[in-house]
C-alpha cells in the first residue's frame, strides 16, 4: 500500500511540475486531473472537444472562467495521458453514469427476484 501511495504522490508532483494549469487534489473530482483553481476536469474539456465543441466555444460558452491557454494545456495533458483521460471521458459519457439510467438501475436492483 505504501508503494501505491508513493507512486501516486510522485505522479501528482509530476503533474504540477510539467503543467502550469493542471493539478490533482484529493477529494476534488476523485483526485483526477483538473484545471488549477477550478473544479473543471481535464476530461470535461476533452470530452467537449471530442463532441464537436471548439476552443472558442468552450471559453465563451461552456467554461467562461477558463482561458484559451488552460484549454490548450488540457489538450497537451491529454496527449501525454491519453489512456487515463479516454477512460474518464468514456465513464462520463456512458449512459449508466447519467442520472436517469442510474435511477432506473437503483429501482431495478431493489425489485424482488423472479
Per residue in 48-65, pLDDT (tens digit) is 999 999 999 999 999 999
- Binning pLDDT at 50, 70 and 90, where does residue 113 land? very low
Mean pLDDT calculated for residue range 85-104? 73
Specify the CATH class of 2-110 in words: mainly alpha
Write b or e for each residue in 31-68: b if 16 or more Cβ atoms lie within 10 A of its Cβ, otherwise e.
ebbbbbebebbbbbbbbbbeeebebeebbeeebeebee
pLDDT score, position 93: 78
pLDDT score, position 18: 87
Amino acid at each position: 500500500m505504501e508503494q501505491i501511495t508513493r507512486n501516486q504522490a510522485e505522479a501528482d508532483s509530476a503533474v504540477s511540475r510539467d503543467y502550469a494549469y493542471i493539478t490533482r487534489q484529493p477529494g476534488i473530482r476523485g483526485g483526477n486531473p483538473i484545471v488549477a483553481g477550478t473544479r473543471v476536469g481535464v476530461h470535461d474539456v476533452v470530452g467537449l472537444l471530442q463532441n464537436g465543441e471548439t476552443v472558442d466555444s468552450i471559453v465563451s460558452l461552456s467554461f467562461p472562467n477558463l482561458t484559451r491557454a488552460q484549454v490548450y494545456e488540457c489538450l497537451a495533458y491529454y496527449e501525454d495521458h491519453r489512456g487515463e483521460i479516454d477512460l474518464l471521458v468514456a465513464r462520463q459519457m456512458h449512459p449508466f453514469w447519467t442520472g436517469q439510467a442510474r435511477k432506473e438501475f437503483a429501482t431495478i436492483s431493489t425489485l424482488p427476484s423472479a
